[in-house]
Chain A
Amino acid sequence: MSEAQIAIPVLKERLQRPPLTPGQLSWHRFLRHRMALVGAGLLVALVLYVLAGAAFFSEADANHVDLSSTLRGPSAEHPFGTDLAGRDILARTIYGGQISILIGVLAVVLSVVIGVLVGAAAGYFGGAVDNLLMRFTEAMFNIPQMFLLIILAKFFGVEAPSFTLFGRTFSGSVVVIVSVIGLTSWMYLARIVRSSFLSLKEQEFVTAARATGATDSSIIFGHILPSAIAPIIVSATLEVANAILYEAYISFLGMGVQPPTATWGNMLNEAYSKLEVAPWMWFFPGTLILLIVLAINFVGDGLRDAFDPRSLGGRSK
């Protein structure tokens, strides 16, 4: 087959999608990358905000109660206003952000570990193991996560002692929340990993590895897993947004991280009662949550398109 004859079907495929004048073409290509770039930029900005902000405010500032200036609106002294106990909201969003993001990341790490183990075992060993694990996964899928989270957080939230790490005091509830979110978020990943493994284990490089006497675990972790890494990365990224959201949800309901440790979520819990008089109390933390979830979604989308070889030039979701 001549080169042109092979090129034509590919060309035909590309012809079916995309846009118009050459000007709009490049703009579109730029736009696609741009969304991911904007997302990444936003993400970096937010992370800088919570990390670098610590240079300007100490944790004590964030928790400093000043009953003489409660519920003040944004001003020069308190750019984001003050809350019920007169604490500076700007400082609290900085430290709260650290916790929110930290919880999100750690929870995802936990869920990735569980998800990969379950998915890999199910996909690789197949048979009864697969059956059992998948039933279990499906069952977990069917139990709405929100309810499960609330129950686990409320009833198993041990009165864990606060601890100090890197010069910051963390309420013990942070560990509880990380575990709880991680333990209920791994299912989607397990499924993805399983289907990757199901298809990859039939490939020749696996048979070759086995022929040289490699052990199951070295095949799983050394050979198959690296090939399956792309969808895991995409999923994990998007999962961070989810985890941050869920932390916010349960903290908002008062069952997550307990004060005085701030998270963006529990700041909203406090704001709820003063909704009418002090909108700044919920506006700033809420918008920060929105921004970071948005940023992560953009980046995740960009990653997904970057890893998917089929979406050349056009299919934006």
Chain B
Amino acid sequence: MIRYILRRLLQAIPLLLVISALLFILTANLGDPLAAFGGGRRRLPPADRARLERQLGLDKPVVVQYIIWLAGNDWMQVDLDGDGTPDSHGTRHGVLRGDFGDSFQERRPAIEVIRERIGATLLLMGASEVIVILLALLIGIYSALRQYTFVDNLITSLSFIGYSMPIFWLALMLIYVFGVMFQRWGLPSLPTVGMYDLNIGPTVGQILLHMILPLAALSIVSIASYSRYIRAQMLEVINQDYIRTAYAKGLPERRVLLGHALKNASLPLVTIVGLDLPLLLGGTVVTEAIFGWPGMGRLFYKAANAGDIPVTMGILVIISVLVVVFQIITDLAYTYLDPRIRYE
């Protein structure tokens, strides 16, 4: 088991390298790195530009630049005054230490800006995952047990519609019905913007209230597709010989389904959750933008719109790494949960 963990971690390294290389190429071609690290988009006289270039290591060959991008050059000697001999250290710390440059919009390190927003997104995503898994299990199992009945067909049809829905259409619908129309009909309406009411402040209650609609928009699509998957898995498991053995032992139905069938059927869900993370993250961009939820997705959207490259690329790097890490975790979790793999 330990060997497997180590092997898995080692496997991730080349992957991260390739990803970092791709992202580096992207960053290098996006715009003016001088602006990112040199304090904003200002017009500089040529001499100053040259000096800044050397300080930031932008005069070096591409491969070295990649290393600098990753690890910074504050441990290297640069030739600041242009006389040909290195005399001081560079000023970049590198992506590995969180240096993406300074945000164009806010004139402070991009990493700080991102750090402020990441919590809100993790909250939304975390809650969404929990709800999705619970509901998908419930719906999927129920549907499998009532195969071919009217309810099952209804659920299947709704699931199809559910995962064909564009998230923003769903979000707009939700806002319109629960926000606008509820208000008109005199029903208590759900808030549609922001994380909390500015007059009341960020209390738990406020946050939960404001989370309802974005959570729904984010989760419904996933619930629809996961529940279909669970249903298929459950159906397959129910037909297995060992389930017949369980019945032959005289175990009550609930015990057979929950104790025997479910464990087998839900195991692959762990992997699916891991593979789906990129999609979920993509969904948060749209959801946060629509609902004004102050998270990383919305920040990304605004930053991209404003051409704020340090923030944009910073977020991209962070979430890519997050995806890899999360998939390693789900991989390991699956290995742990499936005894066929754990003990080999």
Contacts and interface: CB of A to CB of B under 8 A. Distances in A.
Same complex for A and B? Answer yes
Interface of A: 16-17, 19-20, 24, 28, 31, 35, 135-136, 138-148, 150-151, 154-155, 241, 245, 248-249, 252-255, 268, 271-272, 275-276, 279, 282, 286-287, 289-290, 293-294, 297-298, 315-317
Contacts of A24: 148
Nearest to B168: A252
Nearest to B192: A275
Nearest to A301: B160
A125 to B, nearest CB: 19
A253 B286 contact: yes
Given A150-B300, A151-B316, A293-B166, A144 B282 contact: yes
A275 B164 contact: no
A241 B316 contact: no
Contacts of B313: 151
Contacts of A19: 147-148
Nearest to B156: A316
B177 to A, nearest CB: 10
Q: Which of A142, A146, A155 has the most CB of B within 10 A?
A: A142
23 contacts: A135-B18, A140-B22, A142-B19, A142-B324, A142-B327, A143-B323, A144-B278, A144-B320, A147-B319, A148-B316, A150-B285, A151-B26, A248-B168, A249-B167, A249-B168, A253-B285, A255-B304, A276-B176, A282-B169, A282-B172, A286-B166, A293-B164, A297-B164
A155 B305 contact: no
Given A294-B161, A315-B235, A142 B278 contact: yes
Interface string B273-315: 0000111011101100110000000001100110101001101
A294 B168 CA distance: 16
Contact of B278 (A141, A272, A294, A298): A141
Contacts of A16: 239
Given A17-B239, A136-B18, A150-B301, 20 more contacts: A28-B148, A31-B153, A138-B15, A138-B18, A142-B19, A143-B316, A143-B323, A145-B282, A147-B285, A150-B285, A151-B26, A151-B313, A155-B30, A249-B166, A253-B289, A276-B180, A293-B165, A294-B160, A297-B160, A317-B231
B316 to A, nearest CB: 5
B31 interface: yes
Contacts of A297: 160, 163-164
Contacts of B176: 275-276, 279
Contacts of B305: 154, 254-255
Nearest to B289: A253
Contacts of B300: 147, 150
Contacts of B111: none
B327 A268 contact: no
Contacts of A276: 176, 180
Contacts of A255: 304-305
Contacts of B339: none
Interface of A: prevailing SS = helix
B95 to A, nearest CB: 15
B229 interface: yes
Contacts of A140: 22
Interface residues of B, number: 59
B175 A146 contact: no
Contacts, number: 140
A287 B30 CA distance: 36
A147 to B, nearest CB: 5
Contact of A268 (B169, B232, B279, B304): B169
Interface in B1-47: 14-15, 18-19, 22-23, 26, 30-31
Contacts of A286: 166, 168-169, 172-173
B284 to A, nearest CB: 9
Nearest to B27: A151
A249 B173 CA distance: 16
Contacts of B278: 141-145
Contact of A275 (B175, B232, B279, B315): B175
Contact of B316 (A147, A252, A289): A147
A317 B163 CA distance: 13
Contacts of B93: none
Contacts of B15: 135, 138-139, 142
Given A245-B166, A286-B166, A317-B231, A144 B279 contact: yes
B229 A139 contact: no
Given A241-B164, A255-B304, A146 B282 contact: yes
B19 A147 contact: no
Given A135-B15, A136-B18, A290 B169 contact: yes
B210 interface: no
Interface string B151-187: 0010010001101111111001101100010000000
Contact of A139 (B19, B172, B236, B312): B19
Nearest to A291: B164
Contacts of B175: 275
A315 B144 CA distance: 11
A143 B239 CA distance: 38
Contacts of A148: 316
A141 B22 CA distance: 12
A147 B315 contact: yes
A124 to B, nearest CB: 22
A315 B148 CA distance: 11
B149 to A, nearest CB: 10
Contacts of A147: 281-282, 285, 300, 315-316, 319
B22 A143 contact: yes
Contacts of A254: 305
Nearest to B286: A249
Nearest to B14: A135
Contacts of B23: 143
B246 to A, nearest CB: 16
A143 B236 CA distance: 33
Contacts of B31: 155
B92 interface: no
